[in-house]
A and B are shown apart, each in its own frame.
Chain A
Amino acid sequence: WDSFTTNKEHAVTMPCTWVMACAYAPSGCAIACGGLDNKCSVYPLTFDKNENMAAKKKSVAMHTNYLSACSFTNSDMQILTASGDGTCALWDVESGQLLQSFHGHGADVLCLDLAPSETGNTFVSGGCDKKAMVWDMRSGQCVQAFETHESDINSVRYYPSGDAFASGSDDATCRLYDLRADREVAIYSKESIIFGASSVDFSLSGRLLFAGYNDYTINVWDVLKGSRVSILFGHENRVSTLRVSPDGTAFCSGSWDHTLRVWA
């Protein structure tokens, strides 16, 4: 999609009924997506109308259960995936080989996020076992684990500085965990919010936390004060995903009401 003109640029049909994850390559030349087909496929992007994108598809990852999240690492050559089979895995795009696998979650892994620094080699994953785990990509070991949520963790996102991360969960709260202090440092919740948070993202400076909820709203939280700054209405069904643009001027939310909305 082109977000300024709202024109659909490309549509790629997938062989499975649910596409649950998609990611842009850092160069912008390829996309990876996957879902109930248990695989992650990479499509090189081409703006030539005569080319059939589906023909160039490359199947990269194979899990034994659905693919819930995928993300390119700092290069176009490696992809990190999270799956309903309880594991995360790092794959080489060219050869489709498994480079590293991460075992430790007791249930489906629903989300993952890579640490923001260029030299970073850690990532955080959240799962249905209520745990958020931080992994070292090179050794495959779990470095830290946090288990304070009371239900499935739907979304995790690193704080821009890389020293903390936020998580959104079905227990209707979002929580901020500091990696160096190794504990939860803030909870973002209100008694009036009873629906789970499906997706979270930080603004550029990390002062605002945007969270999309299953009650069709988006709440904006002040990260440092722990209070809600504003609530955004507009979607007609649950908000399933949310991302701030790389330049920080706007964020986009996707919902079960078949629309993507850009908020600026």
Chain B
Amino acid sequence: MSSKTASTNNIAQARRTVQQLRMEASIERIKVSKASADLMSYCEEHAGSDPLLTGIPTSENPFKDKKTCIIL
């Protein structure tokens, strides 16, 4: 009896997996060449406003050292 319910559970689970996979297989995909071109153009566009990429002038940098290091 228990083996029968176990196999029914497995079947139900397998059916769900198949359904999920069918759903995933049917989504619309674009070509990687187009996707990567889009990623590249996004990077180019925003590169100017990225402080970690293009750097900011030291006068504006809130993290720059305020006092010189004195060695005692």
Contacts and interface: CB of A to CB of B under 8 A. Distances in A.
A182 B43 CA distance: 20
Contacts of A64: none
Contacts of A250: 51-52, 63
B44 to A, nearest CB: 8
Interface string A191-229: 000000000000111111000000000000001100000
A249 B35 contact: no
A160 interface: yes
Interface in B41-72: 42-43, 45-47, 49-53, 56, 61-63
A55 interface: no
Contact of B43 (A144, A205, A244, A262): A205
Interface string A1-37: 0001000000000000000000000000000000000
A251 B49 CA distance: 16
Given A178-B35, A185-B32, A249 B52 contact: yes
Most buried by A among B32, B34, B43, B46: B43
A224 B35 CA distance: 12
A183 interface: yes
Interface of A: 4, 104, 141-145, 159-161, 163-164, 178, 180-183, 185, 203-208, 223-224, 244, 247-251, 262, 264
Given A205-B42, A206-B42, A247-B51, 16 more contacts: A141-B23, A142-B20, A143-B24, A143-B27, A144-B27, A159-B42, A180-B38, A185-B32, A185-B35, A185-B39, A204-B53, A205-B45, A205-B46, A244-B52, A248-B51, A249-B52
